Amino acid sequence: MEPVLTRRVGKPNSHAIDGYLEDGGYASVKKIFSESWTPERVADEVKKAGLRGRGGAGFPTGVKWGFIPKDTKGKPVYLLCNADESEPGTFKDRLLMERDPHQLVEGMILSAYAIKCRTAYIYIRGEFYDGARILDRAIEEAYAKGFLGENILGSGYSLDLYVHRGAGAYICGEETGLIESLEGKRGQPRIKPPFPAVSGVFAAPTIVNNVETLCCVPHIINRGAEWFAKIGRNEKNTGPKLYCISGHVNRPGVYEAAMGLQLKDLIFGEAYARGMRGGKAVKAVIPGGASANMLTAAEIEDCPLDFDGVAAKGSMLGSAAIIVMNEDTCIVDAARNLSKFFSHESCGQCTPCREGTPWLYKVLDRIESGEGRMEDIALLERICNQMANGMTICVFADAAIAPPLSSVLKFRDEYRHHVEHRRCLVGPRAGARAELAAV
């Protein structure tokens, strides 16, 4: 597939508006205003394209837009771009924002128009300092060229776009946590309902979309919903998709492919990651960022990387962050590492998550350091099971249990080995204690 979202990434000065306009940028904005599209028509086109949210949940974008009440009771509608990309293993939005910021701005103009929004925000995580600077400049350029501000291209439609830097909290990527943070409060997810489309930021109807999702919109408008819907494995998983692959592969990075790329192709394909580093065997793959269940080497056979394909394997596509672990990876250590992240990032409002995430980390850390007991394995499972599935306000806890629970279920023998022998089955720490014992 020819690159769509990343077509301009390699170009020099790809973030400047001049080059963007030369490459046909903002054509979709000119198109909808010159052809007098109604907002409904824009939304309809996106709905027909079958675009699903690229942030993780895979919810159909057009349907989400349709949740805005017909009568907003005089309240403004807000569009928020979720650029709080913090899922471990995910780095696609950063690429889009830093290399082609105008694509995002263009997508936001179209999406804002579709939901009749006059003020939009890009909530970018605090660590993306460069991204925020680049976006700021892009927005400035777009204002200067008349793509933003009052009366865009003489159409009578006005839109203001702002960049808001977060303070670096994973939980602010949860849409209601993001809204709280944007309002200047502590980033804590809200109780739903009401959903943001009814009462979001500043208690007004709000749509929160991922960067990549918004970047898809100009292409749908330019080339038509049918073109977009044809890309991909089936009509429910359409469009181009960015895959972030990291771990023990030869060529980690962001690759664009049609939705439904085979996981094996991504790992071993010449156009993609080009196989395992040092020719080692695959042990486990996390297919959708830290909050997705691990897949074993057997499970990666015939695993199309789209929302339904990965779900069929008992995991999720999430943010399409593929983390590949080779045979030398200690799975307990991997789970411990991810649990540390989650225990650091829990917002702390709900009891099970606040108390459960550090507990998981402490138990995993104990097993990893050779102090584990056989009953700890069952304990891990039990803690996981009593944290998730409605026990908390948001799905953070459900995400946090994915690495420990899936690794215990799929690599139980390795945990047992760890406990019995007080050392890793594989990896750099595998033989250390055995040698000590021999002395």
What residue ranges bind another protein (CB under 8 A)? 169, 171, 186, 191, 343-352, 354-359, 362-363, 366, 379, 382, 386-387, 389-393
CB of 87 to another protein, least distance (A): 17
Would you call 227 helix, strand, or coil by DSSP?
helix
- Show Cβ contacts of residue 394 under 8 Å, excluding neighbours closer than 6 positions: 171, 174, 176, 177, 189, 350
Question: How many CB atoms lie under 10 A from the CB of residue 302?
Answer: 11
CB closer to another protein, 37 vs 342? 342
Question: How many CB atoms lie under 10 A from the CB of residue 343?
Answer: 21
CB closer to another protein, 299 vs 376? 376
User: How far is residue 186's CA from residue 61's CA, in Å, rounded to a whole number?
Assistant: 27
Phi and psi at 327, nearest 5°, equal: -65, -15
CB closer to another protein, 154 vs 193? 193
CB closer to another protein, 30 vs 366? 366
CB closer to another protein, 242 vs 347? 347
> Which residue reads 């950063």 in tokens?
94
Bridging pattern class, strands 295-296 and 78-83: unpaired
CB of 374 to another protein, least distance (A): 13
CB closer to another protein, 11 vs 366? 366
CB closer to another protein, 250 vs 369? 369
| Axis crossing angle, helix 402-410 with helix 374-385, rounded to the nearest 10 | 130
CB of 202 to another protein, least distance (A): 17
Per the DSSP assignment, residues forming a β-bridge with 82 are 123, 210
Nearest to 153 by CA among 110, 104, 115, 206: 110
CB closer to another protein, 12 vs 390? 390
CB closer to another protein, 185 vs 223? 185
CB of 333 to another protein, least distance (A): 18
Output the six-digit token pair for 25: 């940028």
Would you call 387 helix, strand, or coil by DSSP?
coil
Output the six-digit token pair for 421: 């022998």
CB closer to another protein, 66 vs 358? 358
CB of 235 to another protein, least distance (A): 28
Measure CA of the first residue to CA of the last residue in the chain; give whole Å. 59
Phi and psi at 60, nearest 5°, equal: -55, 125
CB of 397 to another protein, least distance (A): 10
**Cβ atoms of 354 and 346 closer than 8 Å:** yes
**Enclosing H/E stretch for 163:** strand 160-165
User: How far is residue 201's CA from residue 181's CA, in Å, rounded to a whole number?
Assistant: 9
CB of 431 to another protein, least distance (A): 28
> Which residue reads 């692959």 in tokens?
245
CB of 342 to another protein, least distance (A): 9
- Show Cβ contacts of residue 77 under 8 Å, excluding neighbours closer than 6 positions: 68, 115, 116, 117, 118, 204, 205, 206, 207
CB of 351 to another protein, least distance (A): 5
CB of 337 to another protein, least distance (A): 16
Q: CA geometry: angle at 250 spanning 249 and 255, to 5°?
A: 80
